[in-house]
Structure 1
Amino acid sequence: MTERQRQRQPGDRLVPERVLRWNAAGWTLFGLLPPAVAVLDASPARRHWMLAVVALCHTAVPHRRSRPAGQPCPATHAYLVVLALVLGATSWLLNGGATFYTVSLPQFWLLARAPRDAVALSGAAAALTVLGSTLGQGWSPQFLTGNVVFTAAAYGAGTGLGLWVHRFVGRSNERQQQLTNELSTAQEELMVAYQERGAAEERERIAREIHDTLAQGFASIVVLAEATRAAAVSDPGRCAEQLTSIEQTARENLAEARVLVGSAPESGVAPGSPATTLRRTLDRFVQDTGLTVTAELADVELDQRTRVALLRCTQESLANVRKHADASTVGVVLTEHAGVVELEITDDGHGFVVEESRGFGLDGMRRRLAELGGDLAVTSSLGDGTRVFARLPTHSQD
């Protein structure tokens, strides 16, 4: 909120600068100029006095920028007092000043501090106008029907119109202020909603990353540790291999944890061919589980986010095979055609009912692929194994 907005009150009338300029120009042209021309044929004394009064009034016009009309301004108030006196002096010098008074009426309503000041000052100016005319030409029926009636009518009409405009503008300003407050409230609520949405999306992203990296890694460590304990006596060589796998998995988990907390600059997925990355993952899977894996991996060029998405889908699918499928063979196929890369992972396990699956992993894979414009299809039935099919556009950006 600006300083001007803080100073304004709900009922203030803001007088635009352009309105003040147009009023000053019109008042100079139709208010000051006619009396100055009319007195040119008068006596030298009257002419000099009249021109001096006009010059004084023109010089005293306040030059300022727009401001709320209710804001105190002593210089403007003093100018209106001078204007009322000038109207009285002009009516005396010209033997009548109703027209000049009428043209000057907007000045009181534009520059006064409040409606009551405008009513009082314009009323005083009307009285001085009538008094000046009376002193100039005396009291007569013709004078009564002309100058006095015209001045009184102008004062009454000006007061009524001024009060109506003030009330109308006041209501408009109140409505504007109300709309401004409502807009400000809506903006604050929208900002809070965006912040909450961003926080929720960030929590979901972190939860997905933890599930796809740390949780899977810890699950692998648990399985490997159990197998190592079982092979500790009967197969020391196998036990040593599994201990190496446990160490490697723990190191990978540590690297992923550093990425999640922001102490590492990027994902732990090294740049390069996705086929190479997936083959390392499959080799580790074979080493840890002893299952048969067949792989057909095309050598495609993909950006980092797409490589990470394909790797996470592969890791999640292999983790599900190890924990739930009871399979003996796994097949992995990576292909690219028509600007789309496709990843297919199948197993010969006992399968499951896809509609009854409530795991976080499948939903996480779908969201991850959807963020990159891809999709995921899972096909399975009891006794027939499982097929996971992921599609991604190859033009995804980092």
Structure 2
Amino acid sequence: MSGETWVRNRWLHVFFAGTMLLTAVITALGWSPWSTRWPAYLAVVVLVVAYLAYGHRGYDSPRAAAAFLPLVVVAALVLPAVVPSTAFVQCIVFPLVWVQSERVRTAVLLSIAVGVASGIGLQVSEGPDALVSTLLIEGISVIGACAMGVWISSVAGLSEERRQLVEELRATQQSLADANRTAGIASERERLAREIHDTVAQNLAGIVMLTERARGDLANDRSDALEERLTVLEESARAALEESRTLVAAGAAGMTRDSLAGALHRLAERHTRETSAVVTVDASECALDRDAQVVLLRVAQEALSNVRAHAGSASVQVRLFPDEGQTVLRVTDDGTGFDPEQPTAGHGLRGLRERLALAGGTCTITSAPGRGTVVDASLPTGPEPGLPSAVRHPVAEVTR
């Protein structure tokens, strides 16, 4: 018997041992119409030995119960037949029948068999004069045992159903937790991919472009231009390092020093120094929380990155303004343009739309070959704060 089974059924074992001990005492001291009592002693010994050998497994093993319960019925017959007061053994016999039977109908039939066997035993020891009292006692015993057994079985059934429901609920909760964890991991990976693409990757792309130009200046012995290239290259590398550290710290890269308008001016200035394209910024302070400001800053970064990589434009205009409950960021360039209906190989525009969609915003791209590109990104905002607009000014062009 395993330790778990023993702990679960320990009170049944104690109850059986106590009942058998008391039955043995009654067998020795109780009245008997016979000159010898060895059949009763033998019944007690056989029952105890059988219980120790395999009967204790009958609570969990149907085969053990099928071998042990017939001995219980026989003992219910033999003991009262020798010593009438040992009919007390039914106190443990009925519980054994109900606990070790798999079905209620089997337990009821065995309870009737125990009652009949015990009644026959009492008739053998007490004679026909005790027939009425025997029928009354055994009838009440069987009915009471069956009623109690059915009630306890229904309670046990409900408890088992509840246990299964609890296990299913726990399994469902665990499955849901695993699914949420997986979704969270995937969402975090997508977020990091967007952040890296919009910050570190773009900065590195600018550094590569500046390095290529510096190499050309070096090859053509343009030391003045090379000095300027190296200065811009150092600033770009420092900006990439700062944004990388901020990204690792789970902060909002580019928003650590001032407002969205200020961040747009710095972004435009750096773009101008890297590409020689004049970037004009017209930014109004809008009622946006920090996360929304980061989203629009990332849109501006992606738009300017596409201008640098594909448009070949000489000038770019960046506007930030409120419009009927929305905050709109518009980036306009005079570059080569493209067909928005044609699929693109990169991830920038797709990531831009996904980022805005997650924030509850929209993105519209208007372009045509040879006619430049307009990127409109809008996010829901609160009432306009009425702060003064930043003065529209072009960022100074850096001499190459």
2:185 is the counterpart of 1:246: no
Q: How far apart are residue 285 of structure 1 and its match?
A: 1.4
State the TM-score, normalizing by the size of structure 1. 0.64
* One-letter amino acid matched to 1:220: G
Instruction: Please give the per-residue CA displacement for 1:211-268, whole angstroms capped at 9, x wherever unaligned.
Output: 1111101110111122223334364333322211110111111122223334x86634
Q: Is the 8 A contact 2:115 2:139 kept in 1?
A: no
Alignment-derived partner of residue 256 in structure 1: 243
1:368 matched residue in structure 2: 355
Task: Give, in whole Å, the separation in 2 of the partners of 1:260 and 1:276.
Answer: 19
1:272 is aligned to 258
The 8 Å contact of residues 274 and 302 in structure 1, kept in 2 or not, is answered as: no
Indicate whether 1:199 and 2:185 are aligned: yes
Q: What secondary structure sits across from 2:313 in the alignment? A: coil
CA distance in 2, matches of 1:210, 1:394: 26
CA spacing shift, 1:383–1:76, aligned 2, 3 Å: same
Structure 1 position 111, deviation (Å):
9.9
Question: Identity over the aligned pairs, expressed in percent?
Answer: 35
SS at match of 2:253: coil
TM-score relative to the length of structure 2:
0.63
Which residue, out of 210, 213, 227, partners 2:213? 227
C-alpha contact (below 8 Å) 2:283/2:319 kept by paired residues: yes
Secondary structure of 1:352's aligned partner: coil
Aligned to 1:72: 11
Alpha-carbon shift at residue 126 of structure 1 (Å): 9.7
1:157 aligned partner, one-letter code: I
Distance, in Å, in 2 between the alignment partners of 1:327 and 1:189 is 52
Residue 319 of structure 1 aligns with an amino acid whose one-letter code is: S
Q: Using the alignment, how far apart are the partners of 2:376 and 2:316 within structure 1?
A: 14
RMSD of aligned Cα (Å): 4.4
Asked if the contact 1:126–1:151 (Cα under 8 Å) also holds between the matched residues in 2, the reply is no
The corresponding residue for 1:393 is 380
For the 8 Å contact 2:321–2:329, the answer to whether it is kept is yes
Following the alignment from structure 2 to structure 1, what is the Cα–Cα distance between the partners of residues 252 and 338? 36
Q: What is aligned with 1:349? A: 335
Gaps of 5+ in 2: 25-30, 32-89, 102-106, 384-400
Distance 1:230 1:244 in 2: 16
**1:163–1:111 distance in 2 versus 1, CA, 3 Å:** closer
SS in structure 1 of the partner of residue 194 of structure 2: helix
- Matched to 2:214, the amino acid is T
Tell me if structure 1 keeps the 8 A contact 2:337–2:367.
yes
Distance 1:108 1:354 in 2: 86
Q: Matches of 2:91 and 2:253 in 1, distance apart?
A: 72
Determine which of 301, 304, 316 is the counterpart of 2:302.
316
The whole-number CA distance in structure 2 between the counterparts of 1:284 and 1:311 is 14
Partner of 2:268: 282
Query: CA 1:108 to 1:300, structure 2 compared with 1: closer, same or farther past 3 Å?
Result: same
Q: Is the 8 A contact 1:376 1:389 kept in 2?
A: yes
CA distance in structure 2 between the aligned counterparts of 1:134 and 1:107, rounded to whole angstroms: 22
SS at match of 2:11: coil
Q: Confirm or deny: 8 A CA contact 2:316 2:331 kept in the other structure.
A: yes
The answer to whether the Cα contact below 8 Å between 1:366 and 1:375 also exists between their aligned partners in 2 is yes
How far residue 389 of structure 1 moved from its aligned partner, in angstroms, is: 0.8
Distance 2:159 2:261 in 1: 68
Question: Given that residues 115 and 141 in structure 2 are in contact (C-alpha distance below 8 angstroms), is that contact kept between their aligned partners in structure 1?
Answer: no
Q: Which runs of 5+ in 1 are unaligned?
A: 1-5, 10-66, 86-91, 93-104
Question: What's the CA shift for 1:166?
Answer: 6.1
8 A Cα contact 2:98 2:149, kept in partner: no
**Mapped contact 1:126–1:152 kept (Cα < 8 A):** no
Cα distance in structure 2, aligned partners of 1:152 and 1:113: 17
SS of structure 2 residue aligned to 1:354: coil
